[in-house]
Amino acid sequence: MEKQEFVRSVAFSFVVYKLVQLLALVWYGGFPMALVPAAAGLTIVGLAGFLLGLGIQDRLDQQTFNRANLVLLAALGVWLVIRSV
């Protein structure tokens, strides 16, 4: 999958999942209004990180981008296994 298509699909999936999660938390009362300022601040930080990632992605060639994704996914897998043990 091309870099732009991959990033677009992952970003879309993440936004949809997080919106559903937010709606569920609000619906069931798990998101008090006192958390709104902190959530807004962290959203800004997350968007800044996303923009930084887009800049890095633009500088990487396709093969390096694919390898970086595989390394990150492998590290995440190892972390999840360690965490579950």
The reported pTM is 0.74
Q: What's the pLDDT band for 1 if we cut at 50, 70, 90? A: confident
Q: CA 14, 6, 50 angle in degrees (round to 5)?
A: 55
Encode pLDDT of 25-74 as tens digits.
Answer: 989 989 898 999 999 999 999 999 999 999 999 899 999 999 999 999 99
Going from N- to C-terminal start, the domains of the chain cover 3-84
